[in-house]
Amino acid sequence: MTEAIRLLAGRYEVGELIGRGGMAEVHGGYDARLGRDVAVKILRSELARDSTFLLRFRREAKAAASLNHPSIVAVFDSGEDVMHEAGGAEMPVPFIVMEYVRGRTLREILHEDGPVEPMRATRIMAQVLQALNYSHQHGIIHRDIKPANVMLDSADRAKVMDFGIARAIADTAATMTNTSIVVGTAQYLSPEQAQGRDIDARSDLYSAGCLLYELVTGRPPFVGDSPVAIAYQHVGEPPQPPSVHNSEVPANLDVVILHALNKDPDRRYQSGDEFAADLESVLRREPTIAAAAAVDAGELAPAPLPEKVSAPVAPATTSITTRRADHDKSQRNRALPWVVGVLAALAVTLGLWLGRDHLGGDPAPVAVPYVIGQPEANANQQITDAGLMPVSQPVANAAAPGTVVEQDPREGERPPNSTIQLRVSTGPGQVVVPNLRNFQQDTAIQKLSDLGLEVQGIDQVDSYEVAQGSVVATEPKAEENVAAGSAVTLKISNGQTVVPEVVGMSEAKAQEALSKVGLRYRREDVTSTRSVGSVIAQSYQAKTRVPVGTEVVLDVVRSRPQTQTVTRTETVTPTAPAPPATPTDPDSPSPTPTSTDDPPADGGGQQ
C-alpha cells in the first residue's frame, strides 16, 4: 500500500528526512504550485507545546523571510501544520519552507576532509561575513554562527542558514545561558552571550572568528568537558594563535582571527564589512585593520599582555582542562603564544613599513577625498596622493564602465595608509529579478533598489492568493536575467476577486469553484422543481468583483414541492333527454328525403 504524501499549506509535499537537529527535522520537499524543489524544516513536536517559543518562532520566521542575499539560504514561506495529540487535542506545529541547497555543511567538510586550506577558508568566510553584514543592516542577529549552519556548494559558494531561528532556539548539543534561554552553541558563544548580557551584531562577528579558527585548525578556539567549562574560557582565557595548531596559517591571518576574538566588543571588529575587508587584505597581502589596532594598542594579540614579559606566565589556577593531547604539551604551549606573538608583530611591522613612508607614533589623520563619479584612475591617484590606499571592487551598474559609483568611507578623516573601498562600474551587467511574490510593496521596492533595478510602474491586479498590498508578480518575471538598471513593473494585489457562475452546479462543485477564487459560501435551503442538491441562485452575479473572503449565499434545492393526489370515482350525473330534431305526428308517415315545393313544417322558407 502506497503511503499518502504529507502536504503542507496545500502545496508543499514533504519528502524524505535529510537532516535532524536539536530543534527540528529537515525534509526534502517539492512545491507543487511552482514546480521546484524546496527544503522543509518542521519544528519538533515537544517544542511546539511551548507557547513562548511558538511566538518567537513565528516572529523570527517572518523576519528571516525578509532577507534576500546570495549568501543566505532563502526562506520562501512559513506556516503551521496541525497534529493531534494522544488525547485528541489539536496542536499547531510550525514549519519553514526554504531554498534547497545541494552541497555540504562546513561541519560535514571538517569531519570528512579535515582543516580547510587557509586562503580557501578566508574566501569562504568573506562570503559569510557579507551575509552577516546584510542581516545586521536589517536588524537581525544570527546568534548561532557555527559550521553546521553554513553550507558550501560545489563552486565554494557559501550559504548561511537559520537566520532568525537561532534567536528562539539552537541545537541541544552544548547550549547554555545564565537564564536557561538557549541562545547559541558553547564552542562559538561570544563572551557577552556566555555571561547572559545584552548582545549586538558584534557577537556574531566573534562567533564568525571562532568558525574561521576552526576552519583553519580543525578545532574550535576553546574545548572542554562541558558547555560551562567552554563558556568560562570564552570569558576569561586568551585563545592560542591558530598557527599553533596549523603552521600553514600566515601571521597576518593569525592577527585577524585573534582581533575578531577580542573579549571586549569595542575592541574587536565593529561590522561584518570591516571584518571582510581585513580578510580581503589578507588575500592581497596588504596591511590589515587588525594589525594596525594591535600596534596602536601596544598589543600582540587581542588578550591583554602582562606589563612585563621577561618570562612566560603560567595559566591562571582557574583554567579549564582541555583535551588530553593539549595537556601533554602544556609546558611548551605556555611559551608558544609569546613566540608566535613576536613573529606576528614582525610581520605586522613589515607590512605596515611597505605601505608607509615611515612608522611614527600617532600620525595625523588625513582627509578622505570624494571620488564618486570619477574615472577609476583619477580616483586612485587622488586617494594615493592623500596618503590612503584605494581598493577597487567591480560591480555591475548603469554608469559608464570604469566609473567609481560608491566609496567607503565617503568622507571624514582616516589614519594614513587606511584602506578606501571603491566600487567601480563594469557597465550594465546582468541581474536576476528576485522572486518578490507575497512581499509587501515597500519591501519589494527596496529589494529591487538594492539590486540596482528601478520600479517603473505599479499595477493593481485581482488576486485571491496574495494579500492586499503585496506583490503578485513582476514584469520581467522572477528569476529572469536583466541588465542592471532595468525597469521592473510590480503587480500588486488589490485584494479583489471575481465571482464565478455557479448556478446549475451541484453544491459541492459550486463550493469548490468559490473556494478556488478565495470566496466563502453559505447555503440557503429552498424548495424547487429542479434537481435536488443543485444551485438555483447566487447572491452575487457572475463576473462581479468583490473583496477576497466575501460570503456568497447560494440557494440550494433541498426538496421538490408537494403535489396533491386526486382519487377519481364513477358517479351518475342526471341529464335531460335530448329534444327531438323535429316534432312529428305519430300517425303521419315518416318524411321522405325528397325535395318538395311545400314549405318545411317549422315554417322556414327557402332562400
Longest dimension (CA), the chain: 177
Give the tens place of pLDDT for each residue, 149-204.
999 987 889 999 876 444 433 333 334 443 334 346 789 999 998 888 888 899 99
Kindly report the number of other CB atoms within 10 A of residue 526's CB atom. Answer: 15
Catalytic residue among 31, 77, 81, 144: 144
- Taking residues 3-25, what's their average pLDDT? 82
Greater confidence (414 vs 244) lies with: 244
**207 and 146 Cβ atoms separated by less than 8 Å:** yes
Q: Return the CATH number of the domain spanning residue range 430-494.
A: 3.30.10.20
Q: What pLDDT, on the 0 to 100 scale, is given for residue 2? A: 52
Q: What pLDDT, on the 0 to 100 scale, is given for residue 128? A: 96
Q: What pLDDT, on the 0 to 100 scale, is given for residue 564? A: 59
Cβ neighbors of 188 (< 8 A, separation 6 or more) are 144, 145, 146, 207, 210, 211, 220
Q: What pLDDT, on the 0 to 100 scale, is given for residue 603? A: 44
* Homologous superfamily of the 6-99 domain (CATH): Phosphorylase Kinase; domain 1 (3.30.200.20)
Confidence band (pLDDT; 50, 70, 90) for 300? very low
What does the alpha-carbon distance between residue 163 and residue 171 come to, in Å, rounded to a whole number?
Answer: 14
Give the tens place of pLDDT for each residue, 198-243.
888 999 999 999 999 999 999 999 998 888 889 889 998 999 999 9
What ranges do the domains of the chain cover?
6-99, 104-306+334-355, 369-425, 430-494, 498-558
Q: Return the CATH number of the domain spanning residue range 498-558.
A: 3.30.10.20
Q: What pLDDT, on the 0 to 100 scale, is given for residue 50? A: 75
- Looking at the predicted structure, is the pLDDT value of residue 319 above 50? no
Q: What is the DSSP string of 536-571?
A: EEESS-TT-EEETT-EEEEEEEEEPPP---------
Q: What is the pTM of this model?
A: 0.50
Give the tens place of pLDDT for each residue, 110-134.
999 999 999 999 999 999 999 999 9
Catalytic residue at 144?
Answer: yes
- Asked if domains 104-306+334-355 and 498-558 share a fold, the reply is no
Confidence band (pLDDT; 50, 70, 90) for 329? very low
Q: What pLDDT, on the 0 to 100 scale, is given for residue 577? A: 55
Binding residues: 41
- Looking at the predicted structure, is the pLDDT value of residue 387 above 70? yes
Q: Return the CATH number of the domain spanning residue range 369-425.
A: 3.30.10.20
DSSP state of 185: B
**350 and 359 Cβ atoms separated by less than 8 Å:** no
Binding residues for ATP: 41
* pLDDT over 70, % of the chain: 73
Is the domain covering 104-306+334-355 a CATH 3.30.70.270 domain?
no
Phi, psi of 279 (to 5 degrees): -65, -40
